Amino acid sequence: MNILQINASARSEGANSTRVANAIVARLQQAHPSARVTRRDLAVTPHLVLDEAALGALFTPADKRSAEQAARIALDDALIAEVQAADVLVLGVPMYNFGVPAQLKHWIDAVVRNGVTFRYTEKGPEGLLKGKKVFVGLARGGRYRGTEADSQVPYLKTVLGFLGITELHFIYAEGLNMGAEAAQQGFAQADADIAAAIS
Ligand SMILES: Cc1cc2nc3c(=O)[nH]c(=O)nc-3n(C[C@H](O)[C@H](O)[C@H](O)COP(=O)(O)O)c2cc1C
């Protein structure tokens, strides 16, 4: 089993979402001792924004790309190859201003590639990353589980489902900025979610 852990916090040290993602991976390794883990920390190596130059490179046929355009596409290709090689994805995702961190959005913009990770058919779009599982470790200052203010979970379900990934497990560490007791409860809830999701 290949596990790919993506840490999406802007913090490379002491990130709560990374703590939850680490706990998920530890539990997966307990259940599958021979699992191999690849980690990508987007605070350490943030991916580039999908800007005009990147779109220009994407829409230029591979054999017509400049060296600069080819280098830009190669950065995205590396992220796609990591996802393709993974059986299980573990995402550590803090809530920033009610959404996912820009770092994670840039990663998503890199891996969602027409003709590679999805394609359009006469019947509509088809995800090409089938048979993978995703565990998402969510870290939040407040509590939004199951409420309309939680745009993260529906968004991740939609975009990962679009890629053909339909087995998703959400692990919640909430109330982390609501005092020490609430934070402790938040991490305890995450542990309970992990135990329920991974046997
Ligand atoms: C810029 C910023 C924006 C935040 N926005 C929210 C928010 O919209 N809702 C919330 O519940 N917590 C919010 N928080 C609190 C974080 O979700 C919380 O501190 C979380 O533990 C951060 O995870 P991390 O340590 O993995 O980065 C925000 C924190 C920061 C730094």
CA distance 187 to 74: 38
Q: What is the pLDDT of residue 5?
A: 99
Q: Write out the DSSP string of 33-72.
A: TT-EEEEEETTTSPPPP--HHHHHHHTS-GGG--HHHHHH
Given this model, what pLDDT does residue 104 score? 98
Q: How much is the pLDDT for 192?
A: 98
pLDDT at 48: 98
Q: Distance from the CA of 31 to the center of ligand 1, in angstroms?
A: 30
Kindly give the distance from the C-alpha atom of residue 140 to the centroid of ligand 1, in angstroms, as a whole number. 5
**Which atom of ligand 1 is closest in space to residue 173's alpha carbon?**
21
pLDDT at 125: 96
Whole-number pLDDT of residue 199: 85
pLDDT confidence of residue 159: 98
By DSSP bridging, strand 36-41 and strand 2-7 are parallel
Which atom belonging to ligand 1 lies closest to the Cα atom of 144? 11
User: Torsion-angle region of residue 120: left (phi > 0), alpha (psi -120 to 50) or beta?
Assistant: beta
Domains of the chain listed by start with CATH number: 2-197 (3.40.50.360)
pLDDT on residue 50: 98
Q: Which of 42, 91, 140 to mutate to test the pocket of ligand 1 (most atoms within 8 A of CB)?
A: 140
pTM (two decimals): 0.97
- 3-state helix, strand, coil split of the chain in percent (to 5) is 40, 20, 35
What pLDDT does residue 101 have? 98
Task: List the pLDDT tens digit at each of the 199 positions of the chain.
Answer: 999 999 999 999 999 999 999 999 999 999 999 999 999 999 999 999 999 999 999 999 999 999 999 999 999 999 999 999 999 999 999 999 999 999 999 999 999 999 999 999 999 999 999 999 999 999 999 999 999 999 999 999 999 999 999 999 999 999 999 999 999 999 999 999 999 999 8
As for ligand 1, residues whose beta carbon falls within 6 Å of it are 9, 11, 15-18, 94-98, 139-142, 176-177
| Contacts for 75 with CB less than 8 Å, ≥ 6 apart | 47, 48, 110
Which residue, judged by its Cα, is nearest atom 4 of ligand 1?
96
